[in-house]
């Protein structure tokens, strides 16, 4: 476990969170399909729109986690902020109780964002301490 850095753990958390949120989108879509079969078209439409938003948030979380590890190695602050904002937007628009997969995925995405923000915060604190 000595080879694990904050960036690697954040990357794993971000991908896991993105996958869980996408799984939550699949679950919302399946429940919406069941609602449609049982004759609740407005409930089905609500769950279908929730599924689309969850899927987009999950894909974006995975994308920014990937960028934080590979593409934007020199910009962990931007990736961390984007992941924290995505998790907060997901919670704000969809609520904490939409489904268990999306809530747990949002927690992992939030933790990934915080882990990406640790290195820039440490550098900023060292710069303030030496000034």
Looking at residue 72, what is its pLDDT?
66
User: In this predicted structure, what is the pLDDT of residue 113?
Assistant: 92
Q: Residue 56 is part of which domain span?
A: 6-130
Tens-place pLDDT, residues 70-89: 866 677 888 888 999 988 88
Residues 85-129: tens digit of each pLDDT: 988 887 777 765 668 888 889 899 999 999 988 878 888 888 888
Domain count, the chain: 1
The residues, any chain, with a CB within 8 Å of residue 114's CB and separated by 6 or more, are: 80, 84
Chain segment 6-25, per-residue pLDDT in tens:
888 888 999 999 999 999 89
In a domain, 58, yes or no: yes
In a domain? residue 1: no
**Cβ-proximal residues to 17 (8 Å cutoff; 6+ apart), any chain:** 58, 61, 65, 87, 104, 105, 106, 107, 108, 109, 110, 111, 112
**pTM (two decimals):** 0.85
In whole angstroms, give the CA distance from residue 94 to residue 46. Answer: 11
pLDDT at residue 108 in the model: 94
């Amino acid at each position: 476990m000595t080879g694990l850095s904050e960036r690697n753990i954040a990357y794993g958390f971000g991908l896991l969170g993105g996958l869980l949120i996408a799984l939550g989108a699949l679950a919302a879509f399946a429940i919406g399909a069941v609602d449609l079969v049982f004759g609740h078209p407005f409930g089905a439409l609500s769950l279908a729109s929730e599924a689309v938003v969850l899927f987009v948030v999950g894909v974006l979380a995975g994308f920014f986690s990937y960028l934080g590890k590979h593409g934007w190695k020199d910009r962990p602050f931007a990736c961390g902020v984007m992941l924290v904002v995505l998790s907060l937007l997901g919670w704000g628009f969809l609520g904490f109780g939409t489904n268990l997969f999306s809530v747990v995925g949002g927690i992992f995405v939030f933790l990934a964002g915080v882990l990406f923000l640790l290195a820039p915060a440490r550098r900023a604190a060292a710069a303030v301490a030496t000034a």
